[in-house]
């Protein structure tokens, strides 16, 4: 579900959740994340008959991406951590003592950020096992399981203040199809959020540029005070991803 492994997961099949206990992870502030990394020399690769052209291109991007280098240096699970940091700097979604649910949490970068920024309870759910994250609980399961809202509410000790999703489906290369698939995934995340959010809570999900579909945007505007789109600087320039951020949850009947 992300630039994380969940984004490449197969179709979900509801199942039992399995709790994974947390362990220590050291992190640092993201200020100046790319300082120094941008000064490094460009890495080039020899052509390999074992890799496709797209695989070679992806590896080149990774090796020359300052956010990848900064994430590794600072102990973040992935470069996607900087996207949430930048979005939270702008929209102030993670508050001290808040309860947070991370959908499609693997590999755990967003959960790390939520803990580091003062959330009291952070629970991540993913179809894939996740290495423990200090200060958070990770469970293996399907957020579409009808029992999942109850399970997560119990784990949080109450309703969530923030539901976040960096999930993305496998891309097909056909823009219209890819857009529909990610909107469908975001709609499922929204439906889940409406069940588990506390009044005043927030929701963030990845979408693709081209606008959020009407059947998603309408209920968002109905149930949240403010709905905005944003593309954080950490998103690659060539990427069509952006995020929809909704704040001020009015309640399911809002």
User: Is pLDDT larger for residue 253 or for residue 151?
Assistant: 151
Q: Give yes or no: residues 46 and 95 share one domain.
A: no
The answer to the question of residue 107 being in a domain is: yes
151 shares a domain with 181: yes
177 and 68 housed in the same domain: no
The mean-pLDDT minimum among 70-84, 88-102, 130-144, 169-183 falls in 169-183
- The span from the CA of 165 to the CA of 95, in Å, is 17
Whether residues 41 and 155 fall in one domain = no
How far apart are alpha carbons 70 and 32 in whole angstroms? 9
pLDDT at res. 74: 86
State whether 179 and 64 are in the same domain.
no
Q: Is residue 49 part of a domain?
A: yes
Which of the four pLDDT bands, split at 50, 70 and 90, describes residue 230?
Answer: very high
Same domain, 117 and 44: no
From the list 72, 206, 237, 250, the catalytic residue is 206
**Mean pLDDT over each residue of the chain, to the nearest integer:** 79
Tell me, yes or no, whether 125 and 184 share the same domain: yes
Asked whether the predicted pLDDT for residue 202 surpasses 50, the reply is yes
Q: Which of 79-93, 209-223, 240-254 has the lowest mean pLDDT?
A: 209-223
Q: Looking at the structure, do residues 169 and 214 belong to the same domain, yes or no? A: yes
Whether residue 239 has pLDDT greater than 80: no
Q: 10 with 48, same domain?
A: no
| Domain limits for position 66 | 37-72
- Better-predicted residue by pLDDT, 39 or 210: 210
Q: Is the pLDDT of residue 17 over 50?
A: no
**pLDDT per position as a tens digit, 108-158:** 999 999 999 999 999 999 999 999 999 999 999 999 999 999 999 999 999
What are the tens digits of pLDDT across the range 64-77? 467 878 878 888 88
Q: Residue 53 pLDDT > 80, yes or no?
A: no
- Any idea what the CATH number is for the domain that residue 99 is in? 3.40.50.150
**Is the per-residue pLDDT at 234 higher than 80?**
yes
Find out whether 7 and 130 touch, Cβ atoms under 8 Å. no
| pTM passes above 0.85 | no
Report whether 107 contacts 78 (CB < 8 A): yes
Task: Answer yes or no: is 254 within a domain.
Answer: no
Q: Are residues 218 and 164 in the same domain?
A: yes
Q: Is the pLDDT of residue 14 over 50?
A: no
pLDDT category of residue 240 using cuts at 50, 70 and 90: confident
The reply to whether 153 and 61 lie within a common domain is no
Q: How many domains does the chain have?
A: 2
Q: Is residue 32 part of a domain?
A: no
pLDDT (tens digit per residue) in 33-43: 443 443 444 44
Inform me whether the pLDDT recorded for 61 exceeds 60.
no
Tell me: do 145 and 57 sit in the same domain.
Answer: no
Q: Give me the phi and psi of 232, to 5 degrees please.
A: -65, 150
Residue 250 annotated among the catalytic residues of the structure? no
């Amino acid at each position: 579900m992300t630039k994380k492994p969940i984004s490449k997961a197969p179709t979900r099949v509801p199942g039992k959740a399995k709790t994974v206990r947390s362990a220590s992870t050291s992190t640092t502030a993201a200020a100046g994340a790319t300082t120094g990394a941008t000064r490094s020399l460009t890495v080039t690769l020899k052509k390999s008959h074992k890799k496709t052209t797209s695989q070679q291109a992806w590896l080149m991007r990774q090796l020359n991406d300052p956010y990848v280098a900064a994430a590794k240096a600072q102990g973040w699970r992935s470069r996607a951590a900087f996207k949430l940091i930048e979005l939270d700097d702008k929209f102030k979604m993670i508050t001290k003592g808040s309860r947070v649910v991370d959908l499609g949490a693997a590999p755990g970068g967003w959960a790390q950020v939520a803990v580091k920024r003062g959330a009291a309870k952070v629970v991540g759910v993913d179809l894939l096992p996740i290495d423990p994250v200090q200060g958070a609980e990770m469970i293996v399961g399907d957020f579409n399981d009808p029992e999942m809202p109850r399970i997560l509410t119990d784990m949080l000790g109450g309703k969530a203040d923030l539901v976040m999703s960096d999930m993305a489906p496998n891309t097909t290369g056909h823009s219209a199809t890819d857009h529909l698939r990610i909107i469908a995934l975001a709609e499922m995340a929204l439906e889940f959020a409406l069940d588990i959010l506390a009044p005043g809570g927030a929701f963030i999900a990845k979408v693709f540029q081209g606008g959020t579909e009407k059947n998603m945007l309408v209920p968002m505007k109905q149930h949240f005070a403010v709905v905005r789109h944003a593309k954080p600087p950490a998103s690659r320039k060539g990427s069509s991803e952006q995020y929809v951020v909704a704040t001020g949850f009015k309640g399911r009947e809002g």
